[in-house]
Amino acid sequence: KQWYQRRVAITAGKIKDDAPELVQKPIAFKTPLEYKLGASIASRVAYGDALVKLGEACDRIVVLDADTKNSTFALKFKNVFPDRFIECFIAEQNMVGVSLGCGARNRTIPFCSTFATFFTRAMDQIRMAAVSQSQLNMAGSHCGVSIGEDGPSQMALEDIAAFRAIPNLVYFYPSDAVSACRAVELAANYKYMTFIRTSRPATTVIYANDEVFEIGKAKIVKTSAEDKVLVIGAGITLDSAMKAHSSLLEKGTSVRVMDPFTIKPLDKEAVLKHAKECGGRVITVEDHYAEGGIGEAVAGVLSNADFITKHKILAVREIPRSGPSAVLLDMFGISANKVVDAVLDMVE
């Protein structure tokens, strides 16, 4: 019998519950992160690292996966804590249901994972879990056209739109290994539902291991007093924005680069403050369809600001195809080169 099952003994007509309520929150990693600045690490790999650290810090962490554990890197947790891992196979609706059961009555903290696009199969369970104000942590990997050769059937391009509409849900979109780990740590301490969007390609570690992250607080990763445009990117497109920043400096144009960290809640104050400081010019770039994504979330924030002069949304605007990641990023308008073109067009 596995430890996470609710075990009851019927004695003299009474039920004895020997699974006490979790009282260990807040939960924090017991050991520091050890990533090197400048290293290339996929956020999905860091997700697996963070699960292991959580498992070491709290024996109530339970991890579930839908037969994608070698791709989501939930396998790392299984290898260390096999008795706290549940393989749900290719049955995403069931996985979400089992996860909700694991988290019921505050007995465990469940994390379930699969490709981000496959969570759409379980939207009925997810929306009803929100109605019930349930605790559930989801991690979706392989988002966007950047997954490359896996092709459009595997590319999550609707998930931001779908999950932004879920009440009380926090949507994390980490851009490097450090922020991915901190997203997992924060999710474990959140009362309701979370979604962590992880990427297949490796991205550069840009944050120090002790960088502090908060729900609803963005990070400014490039800034100067001469910035002409605020560029907002997340995950693989923050990488595009950073590369564009370097190329634009060579052309004599400076831009400010923002990492939103959470798409819901979005850091509205930071968006407005930095947009104003950049002359009311804003570009959002995302590996997602334009509808319901980061660009439209930002547009909602900017809609009542009288100082906005230009806002351009770079997003995937047609059904994609299979191909090398870098080729697809450029083909669908969200590469560093496309960011450079959009900035130069905006400031001319």
Task: Identify the burial level of 285 via C-beta atoms within 10 angstroms of its C-beta, where 0-12 means exposed, 13-18 middle and 19 or more buried.
Answer: buried
The C-alpha atoms of residue 152 and residue 285 are separated, in whole angstroms, by 19
Give the residue carrying structure tokens 């696009």.
117
Q: How far is CA 90 from CA 4, 7, 68, 72, 95, in A?
A: 22, 27, 8, 14, 9
Q: Is 92 a catalytic residue?
A: yes
Task: Identify the burial level of 78 via C-beta atoms within 10 angstroms of its C-beta, where 0-12 means exposed, 13-18 middle and 19 or more buried.
Answer: buried
- Host H or E run for residue 311: strand 310-316
Give strand pairing partners of 105: none
DSSP for 202-230, written as a single string:
EEE--S-TT----TT--EEEE--TT--EE
Name the catalytic one among 21, 92, 185, 348: 92
Contact indicator for 262, 209 with CB cutoff of 8 Å: no
Catalytic residues: 92
